Structure 1
Amino acid sequence: MPLARAHRLTAAFAAVVVGVSVLSACATQVPHLAEPTDTPASAITPSETITPSETPAPEQTNDPTDPDSWLVTETAIGPVEVGGDYESTLKEIRATGVGSFDCEGVAYGFAEDNAYDILVIEDREGDTGGIAEVSVGWNSDTMGVGPRTAERLGLGSTKEQVLAAYEDATEQTSHIADRSYVTIPDNDSDSKLVFGYRDGYDGAVSVSVITGEEPAYEPCA
């Protein structure tokens, strides 16, 4: 083989070898994505857990100017306590608009939003100057309004809710047609808490604290 041709073949072979080496080097530098791995759902933790907060119930402060804040018990509705002095109590709650009505010994007024009314009756038979009854009555389309018990019961509460909240609660019929009551006595006095119901309504249409047999139907009669 002539020497010049041998040199040409050697150079060509060397070029081929170099080219293959370059391609191999380039192939090894191509990045490869790692195979995806399954992550258990339990291993994924949120950065922040949001816990829904409940709307706090209004505090029952017995503010004489705000009947919505009044606490209902077996002896009183807010600052109006059965057996308390009639005249001085009316002075204390004067800002509510509750005042003298059409007859002596009866005070009456509406809540600021007109959603319920307030009735205070003096003990006219005993002539003691004390309060014989305080009642709130439903007066609008909204039932869950007005003074509430510590259990958040009041106007609009059903018989089932009241009976479940008080072990000594009892149902009774009324002398007035289409009416009934759930009564909770105060074991330390003669007063009692009464939820009044009217046929056709599931919720209480009145809440009263009284000393008599049942709340007054016509206080001026």
Structure 2
Amino acid sequence: MWTITEQGMGPVQLDELFADAVAGVPTWTVEENCSWVAFWNDQETGVTAYFARDSETSDGTVTTIDVESTTDTVQPHDGPRTVDGLGLGSTRDEVLAAHPDAAEQKPTIGDGALLRVGPQGEGAIFFAFRSGEDTVSAVTVTSRDEPPYEVCG
């Protein structure tokens, strides 16, 4: 099972060369029209994941790593977890119990809420909650101020 840290998720790490990260997870897909993102999808569980580099360069380092649920009702899965056991399906209370210093913020675009674990501007873990829900629907590791709204648009 992959571990989520403020520096990465499983074998994929922030600031790692994108090409090296892609080589390390050969079952992930990089599409020609979105060559800055590697995708993985489990249709059976409704879990999808990606990691990305800056879309404005021809190569570069990983800037964002994400795992999320595409189902209407998020269930805990055997997917990536933090060392505290937090991941998809964890509750807001569980995140705050493990990280009482987590900073809550609203995304710039879209609804819902984010709990950030780690300092802004450095590698941080963002736990995302859909509007009106208290279970984690996505976990993102990034050094950006917040997870991107759309990674391949």
- Other structure's SS at 1:100 match: coil
Residue in 2 that maps onto 1:117: 48
Identify if the C-alpha distance between structure 1 residues 186 and 99 changes in structure 2 by more than 3 Å, giving closer, same or farther.
Answer: farther
Could you list the runs of 5+ residues in structure 2 that have no partner in the other structure? Answer: none
1:204 positional shift = 0.8
In the other structure, the counterpart of 1:129 is 60
| Structure 1 residue 76 corresponds to structure 2 residue 8 | yes
Q: Which has the larger radius of gyration?
A: 1
TM norm structure 2: 0.87
Task: Say which structure, 1 or 2, has more relative contact order (CA 8 Å, 6+ apart).
Answer: 2
| More helix per residue | 1
What is the Cα deviation at residue 81 of structure 1?
A: 0.6
Match of 1:174 among 94, 107, 116: 107
Output the TM-score relative to the length of structure 1: 0.62
Pairwise mapping of residues 8-157 of structure 1 onto structure 2 (< 5 A)? 69-95=1-27, 98-101=28-31, 102-111=33-42, 113-125=44-56, 129-140=60-71, 141-145=73-77, 146-157=79-90
Higher strand share: 2
Measure how far apart 1:153 and its partner are: 0.5
Structure 1: 5+ residue runs without aligned partners? 1-68
| RMSD of aligned alpha carbons | 2.2
Return structure 1 stretches of 4+ with deviation > 6 angstroms: none
The one-letter code of the counterpart of 1:99 is T
Amino acid aligned to 2:108: H
Count matched residues: 150
Contact 1:74 1:186 in 2 (8 A): no
Residue 137 of structure 2 corresponds to which residue in structure 1? 205
1:93 aligned partner, one-letter code: V
Matching residue of 2:152: 220
Q: Which residue of 1 aligns with 2:93?
A: 160
Mapped partners of 2:91, 2:74: distance in 1: 14
- Describe the superposition over 1:143-172 as per-residue Cα deviations: whole angstroms up to 9, x where unpaired: 201111111110111222111101431111
Amino acid at match of 1:129: G
Work out the CA distance in 1 between the residues paired with 2:59 and 2:117: 24
| Structure 1 letter corresponding to 2:16 | G
Q: CA deviation at 1:74?
A: 1.0
